[in-house]
Structure 1
């Protein structure tokens, strides 16, 4: 069987028969060997009976959620290719030729683009059309370099075996983003074809919730991109804080008549530097852990830089920073002792104390980050056993 047309379903009795009949017309007209599969997510309105009466195959999905329905349906699909689409009659299942043609050309994921094909009046809410979809699609292109203009089109086709190989995990609406991101990170061939979006044929509100599901998509994009979630903001905080600190550290810095950067700027700069160091350490740990566990590819743009961050080097640099910081604190203690542990002059001493404390804090965090990143990569017992079994074979082969 070449093609499975997959439709997730949850109480779609108003439109399900129409969608199935359009899919049947497409298969009959093109002569493609295929099936129509309904992944039912707990319908109680007669949708299952309707699907069976219309000649579709039904798989019951025990786990609630858009992603769960599609993943279970994909696992149950018998076709080499799968074209998925919502069963609310917003997509035209009688016109799938472009999807099939691209799949036959060897593309692993074929996305529909509603902005290219046309969106009927009232088919997409204003916020989705002009804010949510464009912004999330832009972030997807920015974070992962995926040349897709419509990240959340519900009509898309894919190579079944390759998608199953990804082991997608999300069960909600963010499944749509995970499919695209994980395919791109795995080097799959992705393209877009224009498709149309008609007005939802149901009388009830859609399952999609604008702000809740939009946040779930955004959260997924950020979690799979430690660079944009931690590293780039960390660089901004770190070097911005260093700049503020060093400008005002020697003394008041006159920006303009009546505007000066004083000790408060040093405090703000040190706080920003510390936040930046934390973000960068989070990026390092998150990226190494994701690569170690197979969530993200082992190769990434800053891999060579990250490889320099060994535990021994981290501890060495941390030791230097802590010693420098303690020397600064000691100088402040000496100055305090000189005045008989009494009141101290406000200003230069505070600059030195705050900067020294920041050095100590960053040094300690650097050391802890080095140890934590090593702890996260400790292999489990089963993984170690496999490696021990492979070592003698590898040695004898090289011998």
Structure 2
């Protein structure tokens, strides 16, 4: 019997009621190991099958690892945790991926790749193997967004056939238990600056008579949501900065008087909407700051050197000071306006002139107050705890 320490490759299959196709997949995987002479094992991560899948796998010599928690990611996490191989290649147990042609994955892993993704679009997709919605919209759009946000250098972000260095992936402490696990593996590997390669692979129509577990719109949204949450700059910073600067610039210009461009005039009504845009943008930036603080403290996002430099200069007190200054500027503008009104005997004023001053005043008060509250909240998030890593503790 092969010693555990001598196993080079684990072929891992998540399984939930795959009795129709599991035997074929296990036989192909074991045939690949026999043909190539690679020291390996076949592991079936069972997610609570009720159709006898476990007995089929055991009867064919595969090792069954039970995953008590339901979900695609939960099954794979259980399998990865129990894998004995230096490398792991994972693939669905529905006979849609070819377990007899895994040499390109093994070759890349042996040369130092941390993650090797299959590319179904480069290798070939059999007619009927992928719904048109996935082939022409879902996968291309999500792959484009994933490449734009994280730059992993791959063209098929959600291919289910992929190989990886087992210990390197364990070190990422992946957490998601659903279909978004496929995205998390690529995103976290990219953020950790792992070496990610891609090889062509094929996809054929699965051999099941029942519908797949995948739910197109529901799971597509979960993937997109995950990509956005792990890219806070795209979710918060870029739209927030654009809205804040555009709103603040517009309010600043119109504070000195109306502006006409061609036949269109911009005045206090525009100021009202511009101030709302400015506030929304500022809130987005504050949410980015708090999200980044929480995500880095809890280990969801890595901390870059630039982020650590910024945080070394940031204190709750400095945030409170900045917020107080903004708040007081708004109050001073309001006091000046009331003083001018008092000089007129609290009589009737020109509405346009009043609004032109009231908007910057209220904007300063609102932004200042939000900054003060954010500073207190960030102070709560950065209170040193016993379970924190030393580098995660930020003085506040």
TM-score bucket of the superposed structures, by smaller chain: over 0.9
* CA apart distance, 1:303: 5.8
**TM alignment of 1:371-386, pairs within 5 A:** 371-381=376-386, 383=388
Aligned counterpart, 1:27: 33
Q: TM-score, normalised by structure 1?
A: 0.92
Does 2:214 correspond to 1:208? Answer: yes
Deviation at 1:315, TM superposition (A): 2.6
Structure 2 gap ranges (5+)? 1-6, 392-396
Q: What is the Cα deviation at residue 181 of structure 1?
A: 0.8
**Where does residue 227 of structure 2 map in the other structure?**
221
- Per-residue CA shift, 1:302-329, capped at 9, x if unaligned? 6655655433332332222222211111
Match status 1:134 vs 2:119? no
Query: Distance in 2 between the 1:379 and 1:305 partners?
Result: 18
Q: 5+ unaligned residues in a row in structure 1: which ranges?
A: 388-399
Cα distance per residue 1:19-45 (max 9 Å; x no partner): 111111111110111111111111111
Bigger mean CA offset, 299-308 vs 62-71 = 299-308
**Alignment root-mean-square deviation, CA:** 1.8
Q: How does 1:95-110 map to 2 (within 5 A)?
A: 95-110=101-116
Mark the CA change 1:276 to 1:303 in structure 2 (over 3 Å): closer, same or farther.
farther
The CA deviation at 1:383 is 5.0
Match of 1:359 in 2: 364
2:50 match:
44
1:318 equivalenced with 2:323 (yes/no): yes
Displaced runs of 4+ in structure 1, greater than 6 A? none
Aligned ranges 1:210-249 → 2 under 5 Å: 210-249=216-255
1:163-212 C-alpha deviation (Å, 9 max, x unpaired): 11111110000000111111111221111000001012111110000111
Within a 5 Å distance, the mapping from 1:300-339 to structure 2 comes to 304=309, 308-339=313-344
Cα distance, 1:268 vs structure 2: 0.8
SS of aligned partner of 1:86: coil
| SS of the residue 2:265 aligns to | strand
Q: Choose which of 76, 79, 88 in structure 2 pairs with 1:82.
A: 88
Q: 1:248 to 1:288 in 2, by over 3 A?
A: same
2:291 paired with 1:286: yes
Conserved? CA contact 1:40–1:48, under 8 Å:
yes
Q: Give the Å deviation of 1:341.
A: 3.7
Residues 62-95 of structure 1 show CA distances to partners (whole Å, capped at 9, x for unaligned) of 1000000000011111111110000111100000
Separation of aligned partners in 2, 1:214 and 1:22: 30
**2:267 & 2:95 partners in 1: Cα distance?**
64
Q: Distance in 1 between matches of 2:352 and 2:314?
A: 36
Contact 2:297 2:388 in 1 (8 A): no
